[in-house]
Every structure is written in C-alpha cells, then in structure tokens.
C-alpha cells in the first residue's frame, strides 16, 4: 500500500516537473510587471497583424502578377522552371510562418528570445516594406499593404523598445 502511494507521488511530481519544463521559464513563479505584460500582449497582437499583412502582400503580388514565373523571364539568367518556382514559393511561405512563430511563441511565454527575434525581424520588415512601397509607388494595390507593414512594424519597435519591456521578460 505504501509502495503504491509512493509510486503515485513520484509519478505526480514527474508530471508536474515535465509540465513546468515544457512551459519554459514563464512557469517558474516569475513576477511580471502588469505594464510590461500589457506591452507584451500588444506585441503579440502586432506580430499576428504583421504576419497577416505580409501574407496579404504576397497573395496580392501573386494575383497581380508581380510574383509569377513569367515575371522572371527577363532575368539575366532566365526564369527558373515553373515547378521549381512553386516549390520555392511554398518553402518561402513555410519559412515566413516559422519566422513569425520564432517571435510569437517565446513572446507568449514572456521570454526575451522572442523580443530579440521580433526586434530583428521587425527592423528588416520595416526596411523591406518601406523600399517596396517606394519601388511600386504608382500601384496602390501593392503599396497599401507595404505602407501598413511600415506602420505596424514601426509601432512594434516603438513598443518593444519602451523602457523596461525587454528587461521585464525572462
């Protein structure tokens, strides 16, 4: 009887330890400042908005013919085979989702790694979107998502670099 109770207690402790470890340092009784937590929630929302806007930009470019196999026909080395183009597009979308997950998941767990990844990706995204908006100034359909990305990434960086946000993460 005592052996059964001991085995049950060890199993329960093991499950609790695994659950705490799988949740990362966010589960380790850390106190998070409510103001920092509010900023992190805003960053999480902006991360999702940025991902949707970027996906909208890609879909808009495909629909308008800006990113198609035919768009590369005038390239110096010619267009890649059409099948290879679509493989590249799918791999690119998978990488895009992975990049956003690399920001969202650690931030959701209130880990500093998400802040660092987000700061790098938002900066690169802001520069890319600003240059894209300048390159296609006459095409409003292509320019609006780019301008929206500049605004969203700029706000993301503004909130992320507020005093105490990075330091408040684990």
Residue 10 lies in a domain: no
* Residues 35, 24: Cα–Cα separation, whole Å: 21
Domain limits for position 148: 36-168
Within 8 A by CB and 6+ apart from 133, the residues are 143, 146, 147, 150
**129-146: per-residue pLDDT in tens?**
778 767 665 566 666 777
The domain total for the chain is 1
Residue 132 lies in a domain: yes
Residue 89 lies in a domain: yes
Residue 31 lies in a domain: no
**Banded model confidence at residue 45, pLDDT cuts 50, 70, 90:** very high
Residue 2 lies in a domain: no
> C-alpha distances in angstroms, 147 versus 71, 98, 116, 144, 151?
23, 23, 23, 5, 6
* Residues 156, 47: Cα–Cα separation, whole Å: 8
Cα 5 off chain centre by = 46
Element (H, E) at 7: helix 2-22
Residues 5-23 have a mean pLDDT of 46
Residue 27 lies in a domain: no
Could you tell me the pTM of the whole model?
0.70
* Residues 59, 149: Cα–Cα separation, whole Å: 14
> Tell me, what's the pLDDT at 105?
94
């Amino acid at each position: 009887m005592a052996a059964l109770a001991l085995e049950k207690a060890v199993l329960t402790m093991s499950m609790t330890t695994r659950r705490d470890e799988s949740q990362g340092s966010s589960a380790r009784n850390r106190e998070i400042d409510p103001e920092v937590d509010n900023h992190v929630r805003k960053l999480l929302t902006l991360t999702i908005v940025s991902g949707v806007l970027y996906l909208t930009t890609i879909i808009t470019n495909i629909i308008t013919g800006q990113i198609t196999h035919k768009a590369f026909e005038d390239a110096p080395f010619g267009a890649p085979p059409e099948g290879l183009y679509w493989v590249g597009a799918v791999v690119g979308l998978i990488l895009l989702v992975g990049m956003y997950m690399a920001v969202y998941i650690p931030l959701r767990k209130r880990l500093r790694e998400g802040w660092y990844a987000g700061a790098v990706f938002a900066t690169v995204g802001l520069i890319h979107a600003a240059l894209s908006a300048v390159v296609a100034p006459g095409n409003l359909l292509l320019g609006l998502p780019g301008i929206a990305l500049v605004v969203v990434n700029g706000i993301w960086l503004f909130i992320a670099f507020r005093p105490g946000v990075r330091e408040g993460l684990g």
